[in-house]
Every structure is written in C-alpha cells, then in structure tokens.
Amino acid sequence: MDKKEILHILETTGALQNGHFLLSSGLHTPMYFQCAVVLQYPEYLTRFCAEILEYFQEDSDTITAVVAPAIGGIVVAQELGRQLNVRSMFAERENGKLTLRRGFTLSPEDVVLIAEDVITTGGSVQELIQLVESTGAFIVGVGCIVDRSGGKNLFDVPMYSVYSTRAVTYNPEKCPLCDQGIPLVYPGSKELLADQ
C-alpha cells in the first residue's frame, strides 16, 4: 500500500481528525489519529497488519506472542496474533504502571512482537518494552499503524509503521490553539485505564 492510499483510507473513515487535542503525553496537537475508527473495518485491519508482518517476515516463524499496551493496541495485537497463529495479549495500567494481568505471562523462551495503534512520543511502548524484557523474552520489534514521530528511531529494537507523519505538537504553555480559545478535546483512553 502506498502512502497516498493509506492516507485516503484514514481520511475517508474519519480516523484522521482535525481540531485541538490533548495527547496522553500531555502535549497538544491540531491533528489526531483515532485508529479505532479505521480498525473497526476488518478489511483495513487485515491489510494494515499484513503489511506490518511483511516487514517482520524473517522473524515470523520464531514469534510466539504479540503484546500491546491497552487499549489502542489491543485490536492490532489480536489481528497480528491471528495472522501469525500465536498468542496475543495486552498490558494494562495497575497503580500507574503497565502490567501483565488476566493470566497473561511471558518467559525467556518467548519471542515477542510489540503492537500499537498510534505512536507519538513512544512512552507507553518504551514502558512495554521494559516490561517484556523483564520477563526475559526476546523482542523482534515494534509494529504500529501510525507513527506520528516522523520516523524517529524511538526504540532500541526495529520499528515499522504502516503510515508515518511528522505531527505538530505543542507544550500546553505555548499552544496557539489554546490562545485562540479552541476547545481542548481528550479523545484517548489514559483516564479510563487510570480508573482500573
């Protein structure tokens, strides 16, 4: 899939939104990717995940599990796990820290692909990498649908994104959208996870 086709899919499904948004990192942005909107369509979910797996093709026979941070990456991990025919699991926040719960476990014998829907600063994925490494499991890389960092090398493992863009972000103290009085919207799931 070329970049224009992917962008067209993101726009026509409403996954790419414009306005004034609060990211989970605390930064503000005029552009937000609500990947859940595009991933509700099995055709696009399947195609995007197949592209991620094409990148990690050399490792596909060794991967034993796909792990995502909740909530956004769960659907991506599930589809990647389905296509690989391996376990799919997710980490949740417990007392503010990502943790494997619900009986999910990893061991030093596991080879893991980390999945996410959207990456901006990479904070949640970096925390998940540390969690997976603490189990002794080996990480082949990170696969995501949208990389908002513009292709920065955010991790010490290979990363592949279906769509990459350099998204504009602002510190809250210097946000021109705030200065214009545009209402701030928090479309993410961090508050939901903090309540668990």
Q: In 56-188, where does DSSP find H-type helix?
A: 74-84, 123-134, 176-179
Look up the CATH number of the domain holding residue 174: 3.40.50.2020
How far is residue 66 from each of residues 5, 57, 103, 110, 148, measured CA to CA in Å? Answer: 27, 14, 15, 10, 22
Q: What is the mean pLDDT of the chain?
A: 92
**Which range marks the domain in which residue 179 is found?**
3-194
pLDDT value for 67: 98
Look at the chain and report how many structural domains it folds into. Answer: 1
Q: Tell me the mean pLDDT in the region 169-178.
A: 94
- Band of pLDDT at residue 133, cut at 50, 70 and 90: very high
* Sheet of 138-147, strand order: 97-100, 87-94, 65-69, 111-119, 138-147, 159-164
Distance separating alpha carbons of residues 30 and 173, to the nearest angstrom:
15
Q: Which helix (H) or strand (E) holds 38?
A: helix 35-39
Distance separating alpha carbons of residues 193 and 88, to the nearest angstrom:
19
Distance separating alpha carbons of residues 134 and 89, to the nearest angstrom:
16
For 65-105, write each residue's pLDDT tens digit.
Answer: 999 999 989 999 999 999 999 999 999 999 989 999 999 99
Distance separating alpha carbons of residues 145 and 37, to the nearest angstrom:
12
| Token representation of residue 172 | 């809250």
Q: Which helix (H) or strand (E) holds 164?
A: strand 159-164
pLDDT value for 23: 84
Whole-model pTM?
A: 0.87
- Band of pLDDT at residue 150, cut at 50, 70 and 90: confident
